[in-house]
Structure 1
């Protein structure tokens, strides 16, 4: 039931395909004990474990030993390069829009990296990531504060990203004050 909800209410509305998604993916823990992840998303840019957790089986019926093992399992998987995402069955059923927002938030930096248009410099990726995380038009001052650079450098980076087609400049009072991610980029990411 939970896996079906995860696919129907979360994955399909966000991605519209099942590419690189593997159900009941077997992994081994530090003791070589076989475990299963509800879904493994294995694109070229990472390993993501996606779980639909029910209250009864994952919380209510859990004793201290099972709780400890669950935490250690996630920490072990993180150490092995997995990014683990947990969604409650209740949210998947009654608040799927929250789950979709969280999935997009986690996946967007990786999708930016794999887009067909590549920024030339790593700093450009950081500026784009900042724009995404702020969720509103970004000012040179925002870049200054976040990336610890002077105003002229921040403005230069924003102008370069606008020239490459990643950002749209927004004028106020006759001069450009803000930049926002292009709508087409947002559609590609979402």
Structure 2
């Protein structure tokens, strides 16, 4: 505390809030069973140097996932505060954060619902993480993961020429990675005619695969 001042010091003095404690006890611990990468009152600075303190930031692999516990009394009755909260959420998303806002009333009255929803959302991330070390173990490199995600966004289909244009890569580079994913059992080459020319590739993995993380 001697090394902190301003909002950083105030956050230390306040300690964990009521909603944050419920989230950790009723949702996070039953869901994950560890605290690897989970940071309370995490500071994020905008381009002007202004600090935002989010309730929780979970850093796992390349992902930055924010959990905000929203109390109606502090967020719903003051229009200016409400506006600033929404602006903060937009800013965080602009910084490549995934933001999940959780109602404090729902957390108190029905934590099993929050737990169920977050289990569905976070299962791929938790499955990709080594629970004992907190590290993400990957079988696919960054380009392979990106191609699988592109295919999912296009009804599981990916055309190398279009993907190459989107990723600003040479067409043959994308084809090379697609062929590699075929060998690994994630893509299926779809051919046409007697020439068996490959028209596009189909993603045949699961939508919630930890390999996408």
Q: TM-score, normalised by structure 1?
A: 0.60
User: Which of 101, 108, 111 is the matching residue for 1:93?
Assistant: 108
Partner of residue 78, structure 2: 62
Q: Does 1:118 find its partner at 2:149?
A: no
Task: Work out the CA distance in 2 between the residues paired with 1:116 and 1:96.
Answer: 30
Task: Work out the CA distance in 2 between the residues paired with 1:180 and 1:30.
Answer: 39
Partner of residue 170, structure 1: none
Structure 2 gap segments, 5+ residues each: 1-17, 130-135, 159-181, 187-203
Task: Work out the CA distance in 2 between the residues paired with 1:15 and 1:84.
Answer: 18
User: Which of 12, 16, 20 is the matching residue for 2:37?
Assistant: 20
What's the C-alpha RMSD, in Å, of the aligned pairs? 3.8
Q: Does 1:29 find its partner at 2:55?
A: no
Structure 1 gap segments, 5+ residues each: 131-144, 150-156, 162-178
Query: Aligned runs of 1:130-169 on 2, under 5 Å?
Result: 146-148=155-157, 160=185
Return the structure number with greater helix share: 1
Query: Aligned runs of 1:43-54 on 2, under 5 Å?
Result: 43-54=60-71
Post-superposition offset of 1:49:
1.2
Tell me how many residue pairs correspond in the alignment: 147
Distance 1:94 1:29, change over 3 A: same
Partner of residue 42, structure 1: 59
Q: TM-score, normalised by structure 2?
A: 0.54
SS at the partner of 1:52?
strand
SS at the partner of 1:42?
strand
